[in-house]
Chains A and B, each alone.
Chain A
């Protein structure tokens, strides 16, 4: 009797040991009882984002859709100009990112599509071309590179929640007074829409503000919800381009809470699936030094 008990206890222990070998860690087993897959935020540094699955690009070439990122492209015509609008919704603020063509201080430029491909961007637009000028407040992926705001300029701050904040007539003191955690900033401007109101453009401070030209705008429409707008210019047949006043009006019509003007003209670059998609009729690509891009959380590292 006692021998039987010993054998059964030993068998039980053996089974437990076997179980522990078969399940070496406490990871929940996939299947009916598995928890939902938790998407990880991308580190706020120059880490390359996860590579998107090509199958998630829409078949008509007008967007991208997965559990963490939704992008839909819309072509509209207004102001006698072809306008491309990208509606973007992300799951996490870390998906809104920036990248530079070279290390800070270099004058290295690169076609936007090449840079987008390098960092696994799903969608990208040109930034503020900070290497062209020595002024501006340049903070990228959490690192401050330059604190020299241009007099009378507007600076766009993007915080760790993915929210846009405009510092108008920016000074070092005004920026320092901002209490949130800034992850990225842009120093081109001006701010076109603030608190859902179109701004009056100060023509004395802006470059080519009254000129009909290509424009590139980044805007926020709600929490983790964004718009990127590229307008064609007189270089493109059938398009005359927009002035900054018209661009501000357009962004208000599109329902933005905050809209900020980025580098335009021939620098205007909008990239989807590693291909430039705006102002294609000129067949020309100007190399740029930085991009703002949206990445997926679902891709492969």
Chain B
């Protein structure tokens, strides 16, 4: 980015940061611009990268098959009116069917089989064995916690409680990393303001 573009980006960045003081018209402007610009960009992307190459170009070359998804897409817009909203069910059914079909084998192979196989591999010796035992205990107890078909009482309740402890440690780790992620973005914005806009720190 150069010149005017850097200035616009910097001013919009400051508009968003102004919310830290309190809600104000500059923030509201930037917020509304963000919503409109994001939706507009998304639409343009979908047109240029999906509808044009997959439908318009193909149909113009005599391939009429893409008219099927085009038809399904158009009837999805039927949801805008009460009288035609029922038509959209066909498109939703098609879309949901596809991703349900993909989910079954993909989850089975990558998330169930691969993870179960790893959970029961040989434990090793010494600390490795202790850690492997802890992982198995944690994994089984978390599964016990998520088993809601029976009340969490007796031995099940006790194991589920251990599961909660493991979950809390995992959530604590995730929280730590989330702070890091947000701070990273903040650092990048401050780097942009100080380096690209104000030239107070040396370039990359």
B partners with A: no
**Chain A residues close to B by CB (< 8 Å):** none
